[in-house]
């Protein structure tokens, strides 16, 4: 009952109305791929569509049946809010970017600057519109290393594609979130980036205005912002705003 009461408060704050759907109906969550471990642990009964936030935002624009949108960048939640497609977004987590290498580290990478020193390096990055790809380019620009993008052997549609290629030994290095290395079961090693290059990474969540289960959507967000949700996020290595 307390969770439902908090959900009612959130609904009032977000300016949304209610439908006749029961709050215990399955909620469909469109979530950034980097949330693939944390969110299902917090909401095991929900249905998840996991992909790059840019892809999910496009699908919601096209009428996809999402109840909740959780993005790895405010760009996409704010864009949908401006277009009237979601309720007001809320920040619920933070993250940091790292350079990841396979545990065997065949290219002997020890700092991000080594990327420019390895002529045969196989780098894997995300596409320019994917949040982790945007953050990667921001870091490389700050470090005057944008030229290393010429060594990219692929541009993945989400961060899990980068993790997969590194874990399988198909690339020597790639930029991922710190939480992805933590969730890799020891297959990847994180190399910290210089502090001055670290981007601000904020995750935002919003109820989709076309949701057929607004009660369940607001209740899920109340759980995410509550004690248990914050505990699960911290357990996964996410920062808490």
Give the CA angle between residues 60, 54, 194 to the nearest 5°: 150
Kindly list the domain boundaries of the chain, sorted by start residue.
Answer: 2-94+202-235, 97-197
Q: Tens digit of pLDDT per residue, the chain (241 long)?
A: 445 444 444 444 444 433 334 456 899 999 999 999 999 999 999 999 999 999 999 999 999 999 999 999 999 999 999 999 999 999 999 999 999 999 999 999 999 999 999 999 999 999 999 999 999 999 999 999 999 999 999 999 999 999 999 999 999 999 999 999 999 999 999 999 999 999 999 999 999 999 999 999 999 999 999 999 999 999 999 999 8
CATH architecture for segment(s) 97-197: 3-Layer(aba) Sandwich (3.40)
- Cα–Cα dist 206/159, whole Å: 21
Common-topology check for domains 2-94+202-235 and 97-197: yes
DSSP 67: S
- With the CA atoms of 39, 42, 46 and 51 taken in that order, what torsion angle do they form, in degrees rounded to the nearest 10? 0
Pairing of strands 152-156, 123-126: parallel
Q: What is the pTM of this model?
A: 0.89
Q: Under 8 Å CB-to-CB from 6, ≥6 apart: which residues?
A: 222, 226
- Specify whether domain 2-94+202-235 bears CATH 3.40.190.10: yes
């Amino acid at each position: 009952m307390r969770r439902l009461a908090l959900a009612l408060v959130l609904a009032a704050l977000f300016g949304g109305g209610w439908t006749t759907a029961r709050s215990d109906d399955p909620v469909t969550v469109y979530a950034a791929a980097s949330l693939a471990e944390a969110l299902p642990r917090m909401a095991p009964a929900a249905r998840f569509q996991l992909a790059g936030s840019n892809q999910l935002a496009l699908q919601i624009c096209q009428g996809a049946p999402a109840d909740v949108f959780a993005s790895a960048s405010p760009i996409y939640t704010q864009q949908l809010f401006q277009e009237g497609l979601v309720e007001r977004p809320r920040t619920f987590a933070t993250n940091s970017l790292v350079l990841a290498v396979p545990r065997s580290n065949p290219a002997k990478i020890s700092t991000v600057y080594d990327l420019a020193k390895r002529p045969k390096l196989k780098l894997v990055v995300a596409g320019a519109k994917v949040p982790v790809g945007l953050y990667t380019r921001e870091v490389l620009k700050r470090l005057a290393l944008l030229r290393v993008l010429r060594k990219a052997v692929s541009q993945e549609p989400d961060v899990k594609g980068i993790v997969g290629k590194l874990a399988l030994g198909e690339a020597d290095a790639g930029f991922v979130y710190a939480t992805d290395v933590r969730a890799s079961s020891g297959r990847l090693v994180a190399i910290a980036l210089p502090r001055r290059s670290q981007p601000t990474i904020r995750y935002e969540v919003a109820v989709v205005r076309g949701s057929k289960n607004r009660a369940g959507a607001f209740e899920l967000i109340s759980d995410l912002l509550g004690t248990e949700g914050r505990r699960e996020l911290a357990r996964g290595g996410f920062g808490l705003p």
